[in-house]
């Protein structure tokens, strides 16, 4: 395992995962921004509100054509005015609405499907929010453990020289108790250490 500055780790040759802080995920240049969406793919609070506000009306116009998106799934649209090529709208579970086991499964799926959509759309650099830890109520420590293991597992399973997704970063607001940089950095360290490489 190679750890770089700014809580970034190499999980396979040429493939990195990490976490940084920024006032808004919408300010970080990337290929694909993952949105913490709701099932109706309509604007909400937090990251969802910021993406629609900063990205302009074209994002909502495309969302309106996609129908619903169930928890654990993701769909992509234009990024509008954002410094990205696409927005991937991922729906995490509402904590307490299903069993803890099912919540973990759906949360992991939301991240995994987001990266599958990114690969399909040809996106190499992806920025992530902390799915489900805001208004959906998921405890951040548990969410970070599930999320980081899902992402590291995906990247290690898709680490061939022709892999599409090459850089994944969580973008977290400074001093946000629902999405702590320290919690995600610690969970990433554990995931990179513990999740086996593909075929291991």
Number of domains forming the structure of the chain: 1
Asked whether residue 12 is domain-assigned, the answer is yes
Residue 95 has pLDDT above 70, yes or no: yes
pLDDT category at 199 given cuts 50, 70, 90 is low
Asked whether residue 21 is domain-assigned, the answer is yes
pTM: 0.94
- Order of strands, edge to edge, in the sheet holding 2-4? 2-4, 8-12, 15-21, 167-172, 125-128, 32-36, 86-90, 74-78
The H-or-E segment that residue 118 falls in is helix 100-120
Local structure of 26: helix, strand or coil: helix
Residue 32 has pLDDT above 90, yes or no: yes
Asked whether residue 199 is domain-assigned, the answer is no
Residue 14 has pLDDT above 90, yes or no: yes
- pLDDT (tens digit, 9 = 90+) per residue, 121-180? 999 999 999 999 998 999 999 999 999 999 999 999 999 999 999 999 999 999 888 889
Asked whether residue 200 is domain-assigned, the answer is no
Range of the domain at 41: 2-194
Residue 180's Cα: distance from chain center in Å? 15
Q: Where are the beta strands (DSSP E) in the chain?
A: 2-4, 8-12, 15-21, 32-36, 74-78, 86-90, 125-128, 167-172
Residue 4 has pLDDT above 70, yes or no: no
């Amino acid at each position: 395992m190679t750890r770089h500055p700014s809580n970034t780790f190499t999980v396979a040759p040429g493939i990195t995962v990490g976490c940084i802080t920024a006032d808004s995920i919408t300010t970080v240049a990337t290929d694909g921004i993952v949105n913490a969406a709701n099932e109706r793919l309509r604007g909400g609070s937090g990251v969802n509100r910021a993406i629609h506000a900063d990205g302009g009306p074209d994002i909502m116009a495309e969302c309106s054509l996609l129908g619903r998106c169930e928890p654990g799934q993701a769909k992509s649209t234009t990024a509008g005015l954002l410094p990205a090529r696409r927005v991937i709208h991922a729906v995490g579970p509402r904590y307490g609405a299903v069993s803890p086991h099912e919540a973990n499964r759906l949360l992991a799926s939301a991240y995994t499907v987001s990266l599958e959509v990114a690969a399909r759309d040809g996106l190499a650099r992806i920025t992530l929010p902390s799915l489900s830890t805001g208004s959906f109520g998921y405890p951040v420590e548990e969410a970070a453990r599930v999320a980081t293991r899902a992402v590291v597992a995906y990247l290690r399973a898709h680490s061939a020289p022709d892999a599409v997704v090459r850089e994944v970063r969580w973008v977290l607001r400074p001093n946000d108790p629902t999405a702590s940089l320290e919690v995600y950095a610690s969970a990433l360290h554990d995931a990179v250490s513990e999740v086996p490489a593909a075929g291991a």
